[in-house]
Structure 1
Amino acid sequence: MLVRRQTNYSKWALLLLVLVLSSNLLLYRSPFSTIIIPDEAFWVVAGSLLDLAVVSPLLLLAAYRLSAKQFIGFIATGFIIARFLIPELYFEPFTFMFYIGIAFEALVLFAEIALLGLVFYHAPAIYRSVKQQNDSPLFALLPAVYQRIKPNLLISVLLSEALMFYYAFCTWKKKVPEKLTSISLHKNTSAIAFNVMLIHAIVIETIGIHWWLHEKSLILSIVLLLLNIYSVIYFIADIQAIRLNPVRIKDGKLYASLGLAKRIVVPLSFIRSIHWGQEPEKSALLFVANDLENAEPQVVINFKHPQQATLSFGMTKDVSQIALKVDDPEKLKALLEE
């Protein structure tokens, strides 16, 4: 998983990365290319290869925490991008580097497939671990998998998709937990109605546009239909995830989530301060359900040191502050004070 470094240097590194990529794009794919590129373009192409396969991965390393495998993968990707960015006439002396990049990517792909096989191998043990935790799969699945397998971006994405299908199709008989230690986020808002409205809009748009587009382009109409089906499944799953996962205080930890989009688990001992009615920082992670009007958070919670939150598709983010708006703020206040 790509975890952003919380430094000012990471922002500058990303800016430089954009400049490096855009300058090479303009060099080879702009109306001025024939004027800028000399007849003997060997050293120009060599410089571009250095930019794409060395400088760009180093800038990514400065912006994100990369493993050795990820860093090598970005180097290989740089060679492959260079092959498609640089015209074949100029790239011909460096063709062997393209095949080296392909070989590295094939090795990385094989490693990822092997990891997926490992997940299926451990699936029974993972299922038992999730059941034993007696917790919501939204919080329990990823930790149960990563107890046995090293965290990986592809696995995180696939597990997030599995959670989406689970909440969309397998949770309709589950009851909303009504406990003394849980507080809902959505009952006093229009979050559920908003998602239902989006589902209706997608269905109507699918019926209206699909048949018209079907006559124009069969492939495009099928792609649009699949995207719309996926979107409907996602919003149904999001509704269920919001309903079934209220804010909870359990086993000395604060569990907060907002559908499939964001969630975090923080030990109460890691909370530095709690402020009611305070404006959150721009970097704060907000747990505020959608409403017809702009809803303001009721409480801001600061941590002693950054905590890892899980976002869409299994992405992670380190946050030092979260802000919440709940249906029963007095109950949350009492639970946090206890």
Structure 2
Amino acid sequence: MMQSLENLLGKLSMRKRTPQDIVARLREEIEIAELDTSPEDTKKKAVENASKSISAIRLMLFGDGVAEPVQESIDAFAKMAGEDDLLLLLASHLKIMAFETRKDCVQVFNNLLKRTINDSLTVLDYLSDRDNMELETNLMKGYEATAIALVSGSMLRECLRSEAITKRMLESPLFWKLFALVEASDFDVASDAYATFKEILTRHQAVVASFLEDEYDKFFECYNLLLRSENYVSRRQSLKLLGELLMDRANFKVMTKYIASAENLKLIMNLLLDKGKHIQFEAFHVFKVFVANPNKSQPVLTILTKNKTKLEAYLNNFLTDRQDEQFQEEREAIVEEIKEL
């Protein structure tokens, strides 16, 4: 009873403070908590107060089922997110926050990203390129600490809804770090990094197509290493994503170049022989693009013709127990294509 009363009084006290007061207090408490000369008790208290400030922001943005959010307060937080460093404040100090407070940070951060300022530009539109890059850099650094990796990843993917941020990420060294992160030894970190990797490469198709054309050699040199990975999950996920990228119409030029390569064909044919049936299945969806191409390059045609008999025999018995009518029809069609080589 006493605890409930204290919580209620705490909420009422928070509502009397302005958004500007709360953010200013949050900034002060974070500085105290991260100051090396602060006594441990002082740091602990500062973290608690910072958590209360973040809870207050969440309360003002979402309400609590009793009191509805006030638009004036929402607008004030949006303005501070776009014109000040509120987003960076939330994204850069996750390590000192408790688990529940980190979840509050994600909610507040993602909510503010969707807000507009003066009913026109979004919060992200207001940020300078330098501020945006600092934000993205800090969120990527979150993958270095297991405790905050998933939280940082969630925030980063919300940022990637912006085409401008996706373009900037692709053009920065940050993107290339994801190739190592998707193979991190920590499964949760690797899985979340892959979700970010896929988000970057699939959401804004025109931007990605241009990037892949410009960085074709470097990208596929790195990507083919994922396809050769000893990590089963990495191979499977990368194969599936490759199939999606090649079949995307926006990537037609990239697909044409990829399937003209004899080395790429050899790699995919080896993956057709993988022990894992799921990897065999995903490899087939890339292999069929090589075979169905009416304008095969001479090196690709030579390999397919040379291996015609073996391929036909192998594919006649390839995943025949798979309950997938479309796949079985495609398999039979590819066998016929190979016969006619």
Calculate the TM-score normalised by the size of structure 2: 0.25
Q: Which has the higher helix share?
A: 2
The higher radius of gyration belongs to: 2
- Higher strand residue share: 1
TM-score by length of 1: 0.25
Q: Which has the higher contact order (CA 8 A, sep 6+)?
A: 1
